[in-house]
Chains A and B, each alone.
Chain A
Amino acid sequence: MAERARAVTCIDFDERSAELALGILEPTDHDGLTSHAAGCDRCAAELGALAGVADRLSMLAADAEPPVGFELRAVRAMVDSNQAGSASAPRRTRLGWVVAAAAAVTLIAGLTGGIIAHTLAREDGRLAALDRLGVTSTRSGLLVDDRGTQHGNVLLTDGGQPQLTMTLAGLDRGVYRCSIRRPDGSLAGVAGWPVDDRGGGTWTVPLTGAALDAARSGPVAPTVVVTEADGTVVSTAQLR
C-alpha cells in the first residue's frame, strides 16, 4: 500500500477527493491521498473546498432530546477522560484514528493559512511530519486575581497570523488593558477594552511589534497581565 501512496496523482486524487472530504475512505487509501495533498497546493485547495461542504452536511439532522441524565453523564465523562488522559497514554482505537484523520483533513485543508491543529497532531505520530508544514502553536491560561478568583481566559496562537483572544467575565465596568510581561518584568501593551455592565466580553486582536516580541522572548511561556486604566493589576494568566 505504501507503493500506492507514492503513486497518487492529481487525477487519482480528484477521483477520491469527495470520499476523503467526507471521511468515508478506508485508512489505507486515506494515507496516500493525504500525503499527496500535503505536497500539492492544487489538491489541498480541492480538499479544503469539498471538506467545507462535507462538514456542513451534518447540520441537516434535526435536533433530538437525549435521554434523561445525559448531561450529567456527559460532563462527568469529559472531566474523567481528562484525568485518565493525564495518567496514561491515549487509547489507539479505530475511533481515535478517525478523529486523527479528521485532524489530517483539517490540517491539509488549512495549510495555506497556517491552520491550528496542534493538539490533535501531537496525539497521532503519523501526523508529526505535517507539523513541519506550518502548524502553529497554541498557548492558553486562566486569568486569576491574587485571591485566586477567575476572571476569564487567554488564548494565544502563534504562526502565520499571531493573535490573542481574551475572554473577561465578572469585572466592574471600566477600561482594562492587556499586556504581556517580558522576562525582565516590564510590560508590552497589547490592547485596551471597555467593559460595560455585563462585566466582560471576548476580544481577538493580532499580535504585532513589541507585544509579539514579548510573547516570543522568554524561555518559558509568557504571562498575560490585565490592568485597570491606572495600571492596577486585576488578574494574570500564566500561559502554557
Chain B
Amino acid sequence: MVTWTERVDRLDDRAVLAAMAQGDPASATVFVRRYQRPVYGLAVTMCHDSRLAEDLAQQTFERVWRHAGSYDPRRGSVRTWVLTITRRLCIDVLRAQRSTPLDPERIQLLLAPAPDSVEDRAVDSAEVGRMRRAIASLSPEHRRAVLFASMGGHTTAEIARFEHIPLGTAKTRLRQGLQRLRSQLVADGVISAEVRDG
C-alpha cells in the first residue's frame, strides 16, 4: 500500500508546492525533508547561532506553507525561492542584533566546495558550482561587498565603515559586483540574458 505521503514524494518541487497551497499536510512533510538541510545551512551560516538558525529555518517553512501559491517558476527554482525567504528573514534579525562584520574567514568558507548530499539535485549542484565560480571571479573588493551584503545582511554604510572607504564607493562596489556576477552567470547560462530571470 503506497501512502499519500509516498505519492507526494514522487512529485517534483513545483507540484509539491501546489499541494501545499491546498493545505495538504503530507506535502509539508515532503517539502521539509527536501529542504531542511539547505535552509538550516543558510541560516546557521548567516547567524552563527544554531538555536536562532533553527528558529529562522522553522519560520521559513511557515512562510513557504502560507505563500506556496505565490511561487512563480519564471523567477527561479524552488530552491532559490525558499533560500531567498530564509536569507531575508536572517537579514532582518541580523540587522537588529549586531554591528560587527561577517568574519572574512567565513567568507572564504562560502567559496569552498559544498559537501556531497544525496538530496542535491544535479541541476542545483551545477548551479551552485557556477555560482561559486562566478563569485570567485570577482575582485576581492567586489566579492567582499557582495558577501557582506548578501550573507551578512550589512548595509552599504556598514560596508563603508568596515572597509574604510567612502559610502559612495561601497555602493558602487556592491552594484558593480552584482552586475559583474550577472554577466558571468549569463555567460555560463545560469540565467537568461533577458531582463526577466528564471
By a beta-carbon cutoff of 8 Å, the part of chain A in contact with chain B is 14-19, 21-26, 45, 48-67, 70-71, 73-75, 77-79, 81-82, 85, 94-95, 98-99, 101-103, 106, 109-110, 112-113, 115-120, 138, 140-142, 150, 153, 155, 165, 167, 169-170, 198-200, 202
Nearest B-chain residue to A106, judged by Cβ: B75
Which chain A positions have C-beta within 8 A of B93? 95
Tell me the B139-184 residues at the A interface (CB within 8 Å).
146-147, 149-151, 153-156, 171, 174-175, 177-179, 181-182
- Judging by beta carbons under 8 Å apart, are A66 and B127 in contact? no
Which chain A positions have C-beta within 8 A of B182? 49-50, 52-53
- Judging by beta carbons under 8 Å apart, are A78 and B7 in contact? no
Nearest B-chain residue to A149, judged by Cβ: B4
User: Interface residues of B: mostly helix, strand, loop or mixed?
Assistant: helix
User: Interface residues of A: mostly helix, strand, loop or mixed?
Assistant: helix
Q: Which of A48, A64, A116 contacts B37 (CB 8 A)?
A: A64
- Judging by beta carbons under 8 Å apart, are B124 and A15 in contact? no
16 A–B contacts from the bound complex (CB under 8 Å): A17-B175, A50-B175, A58-B80, A58-B83, A59-B38, A59-B80, A63-B40, A63-B41, A78-B65, A79-B25, A106-B72, A110-B75, A115-B75, A153-B15, A202-B14, A202-B15
Tell me the B17-55 residues at the A interface (CB within 8 Å).
18-19, 21-25, 28-29, 32-33, 36-38, 40-42, 44-46, 50, 54
Q: Which of B76, B92, B95 contacts A52 (CB 8 A)?
A: B76
The verdict on A71 contacting B32 (CB below 8 Å), with A53-B181, A170-B2 known, is yes
Nearest A-chain residue to B156, judged by Cβ: A19
Measured CA separation A159–B87 after assembly (Å):
29
- Judging by beta carbons under 8 Å apart, are A99 and B131 in contact? no
- Judging by beta carbons under 8 Å apart, are B28 and A78 in contact? yes
A27 to chain B, nearest CB (A): 10
Measured CA separation A71–B191 after assembly (Å):
32
The verdict on A153 contacting B19 (CB below 8 Å), with A61-B42, A65-B40, A102-B85 known, is yes
- Judging by beta carbons under 8 Å apart, are A102 and B84 in contact? yes
Which chain A positions have C-beta within 8 A of B110? 60-62
B113 to chain A, nearest CB (A): 9
Measured CA separation A65–B33 after assembly (Å):
11
